[in-house]
């Protein structure tokens, strides 16, 4: 559910007519085109209202990744004078790789470290600010460990220093309350497939007056900031997903936080040498991330998958060897513990029975794997 969610059946139902009946190009002047255009503008209003923004501050994109790229590179290229960006060490690749790319064009990037719970070190962030800083990009909550960042505090610091603040809200949009005025955010990325909407559609909130350059040139769609014929069914589906989240979010969060805490307690009580990653309290209601000593995360992933339980590990396989998760390492864990990390993420369609079954399966699996682990002498 952190990697992606099942598209809600109500979202699918809402999208279907926009493939077959109202299939017009929103730039066309005939009736069927204008109906598609109206659907986009209605969706834009829904997205804007959800975060206390105005409709003309919403740009629909093709993904969260694209929104991050557009925010960071767009802001960097629109600013001729300043050449410094501040971000955190545990951002998603969409942010980190955008920053790496800018480094090649002469921009200087400060990657601020995090504490043991994954919270950004505010003192270090403040120290990194210079006259040359054009942007601070910090995520709302981390996708691996679920830690929620002190974004209001960061927004205040950015504002006091006249720096633009971008927040990657891909993991929180539709899950936590977001008010762009309250946080003081200038650019915000979101993605539909993380809130039971379709894949391949995202949005960027851009505060009025904030300057960014487009990355895709062509027609004048999306205020000339994202040329391309719009993904009408995707945008309509995104808006429907937002409406559902608005109604269900509070209750879902309470249910998931209860299941999360039950699962965490069950693991800590029944498995030895296991460590909870991320913040004990300031974390996403649906995120659980544990490091298991003496076992590779992949072994747990495969063992659970056989039982029909889908989890993930932050480790990435590059050239045949397992790279430990950079996020878990940034919180101070050893490479071995980072390799032994597993993320369990809960969602709208999970039941308490599934959580109980997962816990029981995990306890038995860890016992079996530790018996054969070469890491235990």
Provide the annotated active-site residues.
317
65 binds ligand PLP (CB under 6 A): yes
289: CB partners within 8 A, 6+ apart: 144, 145, 146, 276, 277, 278, 314, 328, 341, 342, 343, 344
Q: Angle 163-168-170 (CA atoms, 0-180°, nearest 5)?
A: 160
Residue 46 to residue 247: CA distance in whole angstroms: 13
231 binds ligand PLP (CB under 6 A): no
Binding residues for ligand PLP, total number by CB under 6 A = 13
Q: How is residue 20 annotated by DSSP? A: H
Written as six digits, the tokens of 202 are 């995202």
Provide the mask over 126-155, with x wherever binding to ligand PLP is found by CB under 6 A and - wherever it is not. Answer: -------------x---x------------
Q: What is the nearest approach in angstroms of ligand PLP to the Cβ of residue 111? A: 16
**b (16+ CB within 10 A) / e for 75-101:** bbbebeebbbbbbbbbbbebbbebbee
Q: What is the nearest approach in angstroms of ligand PLP to the Cβ of residue 268? A: 26
Q: What is the nearest approach in angstroms of ligand PLP to the Cβ of residue 67? A: 8
348: CB partners within 8 A, 6+ apart: 1, 5, 6, 8, 196, 248, 252
202 binds ligand PLP (CB under 6 A): yes
1 binds ligand PLP (CB under 6 A): no
34 or 282: CB nearest ligand PLP: 282
64 binds ligand PLP (CB under 6 A): yes
Report residue 204: phi and psi, to 5°: -120, 125
230 binds ligand PLP (CB under 6 A): no
89 binds ligand PLP (CB under 6 A): no
50 or 267: CB nearest ligand PLP: 50
92 or 283: CB nearest ligand PLP: 92
Q: What is the nearest approach in angstroms of ligand PLP to the Cβ of residue 202? A: 5
63 binds ligand PLP (CB under 6 A): yes
Q: What is the nearest approach in angstroms of ligand PLP to the Cβ of residue 70? A: 12
What 3-state DSSP class applies to 257? helix
Stretch that binds ligand PLP, among 59-67, 148-156, 285-293, 344-352 (CB under 6 A): 59-67
Provide the mask over 182-201, with x wherever binding to ligand PLP is found by CB under 6 A and - wherever it is not. Answer: ---------x----------
46 or 138: CB nearest ligand PLP: 138
Q: How is residue 162 annotated by DSSP? A: T
272: CB partners within 8 A, 6+ apart: none
4 or 28: CB nearest ligand PLP: 4
**In sequence order, what E strands does the chain have?**
58-61, 84-88, 108-112, 133-137, 164-168, 187-191, 202-206, 274-276, 287-292, 316-318, 321-323, 341-345
Nearest to 37 by CA among 47, 21, 25: 25
Q: Footprint of ligand PLP on residues 241-300 (CB under 6 A)?
A: none
118: CB partners within 8 A, 6+ apart: 90, 142, 145, 147, 277, 278, 279, 327, 330, 331
Q: Footprint of ligand PLP on residues 152-181 (CB under 6 A)?
A: 168, 170-171
Q: What is the nearest approach in angstroms of ligand PLP to the Cβ of residue 319? A: 23
Q: What is the nearest approach in angstroms of ligand PLP to the Cβ of residue 359? A: 25
94 binds ligand PLP (CB under 6 A): yes
- Contacting residues toward ligand PLP, per CB under 6 A: 63-65, 68, 92, 94, 139, 143, 168, 170-171, 191, 202
């Amino acid at each position: 559910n952190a990697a992606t969610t099942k598209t809600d059946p109500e979202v699918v139902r809402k999208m279907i007519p926009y493939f077959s009946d109202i299939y017009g190009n929103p730039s066309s002047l005939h009736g069927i085109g204008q109906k598609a255009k109206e659907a986009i503008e209605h969706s834009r209003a829904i997205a804007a209202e959800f975060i206390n923004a105005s409709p003309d501050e919403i740009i629909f994109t093709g993904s969260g990744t694209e929104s991050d790229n557009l925010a960071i590179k767009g802001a960097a290229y629109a600013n001729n004078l300043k050449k410094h960006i501040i971000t955190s060490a545990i951002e998603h690749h969409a942010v980190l790789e955008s920053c790496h790319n800018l480094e090649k064009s002469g921009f200087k990037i400060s990657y601020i470290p995090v504490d043991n719970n994954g919270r950004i070190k505010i003192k270090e962030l403040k120290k990194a600010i210079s006259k040359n800083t054009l942007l601070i990009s910090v995520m709302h909550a981390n996708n691996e460990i679920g830690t929620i960042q002190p974004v209001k505090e960061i927004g205040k610091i950015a504002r006091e220093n006249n720096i633009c603040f971008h927040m990657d809200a891909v993991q929180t949009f539709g899950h936590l309350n977001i008010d762009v005025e309250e946080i003081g955010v200038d650019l915000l990325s979101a993605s539909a497939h993380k809130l039971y909407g379709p894949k391949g559609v995202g949005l960027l909130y851009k505060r009025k007056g904030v300057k960014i350059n487009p990355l895709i040139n062509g027609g004048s769609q999306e205020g000339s900031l994202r040329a391309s014929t719009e993904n009408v069914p995707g945008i309509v589906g995104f808006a429907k997903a937002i409406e559902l989240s608005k109604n269900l979010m509070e209750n879902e969060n309470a249910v998931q936080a209860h299941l999360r805490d039950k699962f965490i307690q069950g693991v800590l009580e029944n498995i030895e040498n296991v460590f909870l990653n991320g913040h004990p309290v300031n974390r996403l209601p649906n995120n659980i991330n544990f490091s298991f000593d003496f076992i590779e995360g992949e072994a747990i992933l495969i063992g659970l998958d056989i039982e029909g339980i889908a989890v993930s590990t932050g480790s990435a396989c590059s050239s045949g060897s397992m790279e430990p998760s950079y996020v878990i390492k940034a919180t101070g864990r050893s490479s071995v513990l980072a390799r032994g990390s597993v993320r369990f993420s809960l969602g709208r369609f999970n039941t308490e029975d599934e959580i109980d079954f997962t816990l029981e399966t995990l306890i038995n699996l860890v016992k079996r794997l530790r018996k054969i682990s070469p890491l235990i002498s």
